[in-house]
């Protein structure tokens, strides 16, 4: 089975996907019977490459590593999305552009235009999903195509597709856990003796935190994921401002020590729960006991407790961030679209 | 979508499935668009009930709760499997008969006969799967039908289908964890001060351990699951006697205290790993640190660390036993067969 794909956005995550497409092609073909053919890749800053015969991921990576433009195609190569979709007729668009929580762009425009043309979409763009998952899912359904977004929450650690497939038949009443790697890294460093500002500096130095860390440390990133989970698990749209939100900037070393003395750990807990017809979302630092699986998720690890009717609590723990980890989430979605999975 | 099913075995797990089919029918129809119609149920000890219009799960449960025979059908009702398959033409057979690790029966015969007739099979029978998964999968493939067995390991906590679908693209090198609820219950009780024999007595009293606890406490049950995982994850058949196996009968209260003093917990760790072309399986009591997610799985909870290329270690924690939990594993498999999932 050959699956024709287009990649939009070749920053960190997009490059990770190109690496997987190159290094894991034989494994994927052997194990899943799927060969991905990359027809185009386009990036707002780095240009557009297009080939009907398929692009070579390694050649693209070499250009990207040198910081060059991938715009190496003939003059008449289409470089707007509509023309690319028209010319390439891809089976799947993989959308990995940076995301804006307020506008949902550029993901919103890209995903909408792609679904509208009847093309499957795999995306990690939190912003668009948090803003209007119902609209995007409705569009996908009306066109009979898939919209998948495993890597939008907990990077490639399965959560969305875990609940859709392997947990089918379970009704979820609550899902709460550690959904932001940066703050969990900072809190873990504080347990080993750093104060908040030292731990934040370390997170910035290692690339976990951005120059402006507000989105992570004030809990916005976790809250966006709560909006996604509310829409996905309960079919209930939730606006970012409706998530009760406290970040970690007020957590002190004394708080960390007090929690440890009581046999616990402070974690930034993000969750969504349904009680009757009411769905609420929340993000706040909480002390969790060591018997809670969330306690044993260190550093950039994420973990979530999923409370169900038939299985009690199921917990999944795994990476919450990272180039290859997020790319793996896109890859699993692409494989599942190619294989006709829900 | 109406999916016609036959249930083989209505002991504890089979009754649990009947409960789910009754109580969750509306939820399942609404959420997944699937209505299961139970055409027959047959049990070696309790007889056979068959109706082309569909049996009422509640009525069956009432008979079973009173310990009665379900053999309430007209005289000419077929009661052997071949006739039932011929008459009922089910889409899915759900096989929940007791399992024998040495012979694989009665599961082996039931599963083989059903697949051979081109009917999908959902089963929790560890014995047959551990003995010849390759043969059974080959038969299913040759007939173009599904063979699913989520609840054979960790009851309904997703593992098999988690790796097949949501983790597609990941290559697994190792999977190890707590795969037997009874021994984990005993070890947890020993942490709270009981000695081994007291904890075993408590496990027996509460129904976690059988009258003859050998299968659990000597690690046979965990080893059977290791055989299943070797075949499923690595395509490598493994015989029960090839699993390096130590049970928990030699674990003393002193061992438990020594582990706790060192900041750890003793768990019966069952695993399978691939190094080069070599796949090895093992079951033995080991001390795990509190930073290992396996440490925070108490009582009958199971947990497994799945080591992969693209995601590092992913851990799933959830119930490892139980009537409704195992039934939920069968239900998710049935829903995924009905929806054409892999």
* pLDDT band with cut points at 50, 70 and 90 for residue B27: very high
Contacting residues for B4 by C-beta, under 8 A, at least 6 apart: B36, B37, B39, B88, B89, B90, B91, B92
The Cα–Cα gap between B222 and B215 comes to 9
Q: What is the distance in angstroms between the Cα of B45 and the nearest Cα belonging to chain A?
A: 27
Tell me which chain A residues have a C-beta less than 8 angstroms from the C-beta of B150. 166
* pLDDT tens per residue, range A71-102: 865 566 677 999 999 999 999 999 999 999 99
Mutation target for B interface from A20, A27, A160, A168: give the one with most B CBs within 10 A: A168
What pLDDT does residue B264 have? 94
The Cα–Cα gap between B121 and B137 comes to 11
Task: Check B317 against A314: CB less than 8 A apart.
Answer: yes
The Cα–Cα gap between B215 and B225 comes to 12
Do B246 and B229 contact (CB within 8 A), yes or no?
no
Contacting residues for A32 by C-beta, under 8 A, at least 6 apart: A335, A338, A339, B168, B169
Strands (E), chain A: 2-8, 35-43, 47-50, 92-95, 120-123, 147-148, 172-178, 244-245, 264-275, 278-289, 301-308, 313-319
Q: What tokens appear for A240 in the block? A: 């970012």
The proportion of chain B whose per-residue pLDDT surpasses 90, expressed as a percent, equals 93
- Of residues B333, B330, B340, the one with CA closest to residue B12: B330
> Can you tell me the mean pLDDT for B181-204?
96
Tell me which chain B residues have a C-beta less than 8 angstroms from the C-beta of A169. 20, 24, 28, 32, 328, 331-332, 335
What pLDDT does residue A342 have? 82
Tell me the CA distances in angstroms from B32 to A6, B51, B58, one per residue in order.
31, 25, 22
Mutation target for B interface from A274, A310, A315, A329: give the one with most B CBs within 10 A: A310
Q: What tokens appear for A3 in the block? A: 């699956």
Do B144 and B274 contact (CB within 8 A), yes or no?
no
What pLDDT does residue B140 have? 98
Q: What is the distance in angstroms between the Cα of A274 and the nearest Cα belonging to chain B?
A: 16
> Can you tell me the mean pLDDT for A123-143?
97
Write the residue in A32, A291, A311 that is nearest to B319 by C-beta.
A311
Task: Check B296 against A298: CB less than 8 A apart.
Answer: no
Write the residue in B27, B162, B310 that is nearest to A324 by C-beta.
B310
What pLDDT does residue A291 have? 86
Task: Check A170 against B328: CB less than 8 A apart.
Answer: yes
Nearest residue of B to residue A303 by CA position? B315
> Can you tell me the mean pLDDT for A38-49?
94
Q: What tokens appear for B66 in the block? A: 């009173």
Contacting residues for B297 by C-beta, under 8 A, at least 6 apart: A293, B177, B178, B184, B267, B303, B317
Tell me which chain A residues have a C-beta less than 8 angstroms from the C-beta of B336. 165-166, 168
Q: What tokens appear for B331 in the block? A: 């239900």
Q: What is the distance in angstroms between the Cα of B28 and the nearest Cα belonging to chain A?
A: 6
What pLDDT does residue B73 have? 58
Q: What tokens appear for B247 in the block? A: 């049970």
The Cα–Cα gap between B328 and A167 comes to 8
pLDDT at A330 over 70: yes
What pLDDT does residue A160 have? 98
Nearest residue of A to residue B235 by CA position? A31
* pLDDT tens per residue, range B201-246: 999 999 888 889 999 999 999 999 999 999 999 999 999 999 999 9
Q: Catalytic residue among A225, A267, A273, A274, which? A: A225
Task: Check A318 against B295: CB less than 8 A apart.
Answer: no
Burial class (CB in 10 A: 0-12, 13-18, 19+), B284: middle
What pLDDT does residue B69 have? 87
* pLDDT tens per residue, range A234-244: 999 999 999 99
Task: Check A311 against B168: CB less than 8 A apart.
Answer: no
Nearest residue of B to residue A28 by CA position? B169
* Least confident range of A24-28, A194-198, B100-104: B100-104
What region does A178 belong to: left with phi over 0, alpha with psi -120 to 50, or beta? Answer: beta
Write the residue in B171, B335, B342 that is nearest to A341 by C-beta.
B342
Residue A260: φ, ψ to 5°: -65, -40
Tell me which chain B residues have a C-beta less than 8 angstroms from the C-beta of A318. 311-315
Nearest residue of A to residue B299 by CA position? A291
What pLDDT does residue A75 have? 60
* Least confident range of A69-73, A103-107, B23-27: A69-73
Task: Check B314 against A317: CB less than 8 A apart.
Answer: yes
Tell me if residue B225 is catalytic. Answer: yes
Task: Check A311 against B297: CB less than 8 A apart.
Answer: no
- Give first-to-last CA distance, chain B, whole Å: 18
Task: Check B20 against A169: CB less than 8 A apart.
Answer: yes
Q: What tokens appear for A279 in the block? A: 């769905």
Beta bridge partners of B35: B2
Nearest residue of A to residue B342 by CA position? A341
The 3-state DSSP class for residue A318 equals: strand
**Strand B172-178 and strand B264-275: pairing?**
antiparallel
Q: What is the ipTM of this complex?
A: 0.96
The Cα–Cα gap between A124 and A106 comes to 12
What pLDDT does residue A237 have? 97
Nearest residue of B to residue A307 by CA position? B318
**Strand B172-178 and strand B35-43: pairing?**
unpaired
The 3-state DSSP class for residue B232 equals: helix
* pLDDT band with cut points at 50, 70 and 90 for residue B70: confident
Write the residue in B165, B297, B313 that is nearest to A336 by C-beta.
B165
* pLDDT tens per residue, range B241-261: 999 999 999 999 999 999 999
CB burial readout A152-175, b (16+ within 10 A) else e? bbbbbbbbbbbbbbbbbbbebebb
């Amino acid at each position: 089975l050959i699956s024709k794909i287009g990649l939009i956005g070749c920053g960190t995550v997009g490059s990770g996907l190109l690496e997987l497409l190159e290094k894991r092609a034989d494994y994927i073909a052997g194990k899943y019977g799927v060969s991905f053919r990359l027809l185009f890749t386009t990036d707002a800053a780095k240009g557009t490459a297009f080939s009907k015969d398929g692009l070579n991921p390694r050649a693209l990576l070499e250009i990207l590593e040198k910081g060059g433009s991938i715009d190496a195609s003939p003059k008449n190569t289409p470089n707007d999305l509509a023309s690319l979709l028209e010319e390439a007729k891809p089976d799947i668009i993989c959308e990995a552009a940076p995301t804006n929580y307020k506008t949902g762009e550029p993901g919103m425009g890209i995903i909408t235009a792609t679904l509208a043309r009847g093309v499957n979409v795999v995306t990690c763009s939190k912003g668009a999903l948090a803003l209007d998952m119902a609209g995007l899912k409705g569009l996908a359904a009306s066109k009979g195509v898939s919209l998948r977004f495993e890597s939008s929450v907990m990077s490639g650690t399965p959560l969305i597709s875990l609940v859709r497939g392997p947990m089918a038949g379970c009704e979820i009443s609550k899902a709460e856990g550690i959904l932001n790697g940066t703050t969990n890294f900072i809190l873990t460093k504080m347990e080993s003796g750093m104060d908040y500002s030292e731990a934040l500096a370390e997170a910035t130095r290692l690339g976990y935190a951005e120059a402006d860390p507000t989105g992570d440390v004030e809990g916005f990133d976790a809250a966006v994921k709560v909006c996604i989970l509310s829409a996905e698990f309960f079919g209930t749209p939730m606006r970012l401002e409706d998530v009760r939100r406290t970040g970690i900037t007020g957590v002190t070393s004394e708080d960390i020590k007090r929690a440890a003395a009581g046999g616990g750990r402070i974690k930034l807990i993000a969750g969504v729960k349904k009680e009757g017809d009411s769905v609420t979302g929340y993000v706040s630092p909480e002390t969790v006991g060591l018997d809670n699986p969330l306690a044993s998720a260190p550093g950039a690890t994420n973990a979530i407790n999923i409370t169900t009717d038939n299985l009690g609590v199921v917990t999944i723990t795994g990476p919450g961030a990272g180039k290859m980890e997020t790319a793996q989430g896109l890859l699993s979605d692409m494989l599942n679209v190619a294989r006709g999975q829900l």
